[in-house]
Amino acid sequence: MPKGHGGMPNMGGMNMNNLMKQAQKMQKQIADMQTELETKTLEITAGGGAVKVVISGKKEIQELKIAPGVVDPDDVEMLEDLVVSAVNEAIRQMDEMLNGQMSQLTGGMGLPGGLL
């Protein structure tokens, strides 16, 4: 086996040093993107606007508003369902946004999810 780059073969014209530089650059881009995404928020409503949830890029609920007309002491279960629905939809949409942004950065690299 030829010696050269620490016993590592030339990887399609890309030496290990270049590969490491690219990985470090991408790691910084991902960290920058994560910082930016943490400042974003989404506003989600359920029940025709009866319940509103604002979620941050850190997946933390920042605001929860309930329209007074939907508060019925005889039907607390409906209100609970609306809150659960709004929170779950907020989390789902935030995940979708975060995954879309990450896919744009790593697009076409074929990296498995969660690798970076």
Q: What is the pLDDT of residues 42-67, one digit of tens each?
A: 999 999 999 999 999 989 999 999 99
The total domain count for the chain is 1
Give the pTM: 0.66
Q: Is residue 111 part of a domain?
A: no
Alpha-carbon gap, residue 30 to 17, rounded angstroms: 20
Domain that holds residue 71: 29-104
Q: Is residue 22 part of a domain?
A: no
Q: Is the pLDDT of residue 116 over 80?
A: no
Alpha-carbon gap, residue 116 to 113, rounded angstroms: 8
Inter-residue contact 28 to 47 (CB < 8 Å): no
Residues 70-74, mean pLDDT to the nearest whole number: 91
Q: What is the pLDDT of residues 82-105, one digit of tens each?
A: 999 999 999 999 999 888 887 877
Closest listed residue to residue 69, CA positions, set 79, 77, 60: 79
Inter-residue contact 59 to 44 (CB < 8 Å): no
- For the domain that residue 69 is a member of, what is the CATH number? 3.30.1310.10
Q: Name the strand (E) or helix (H) holding 34.
A: helix 16-38
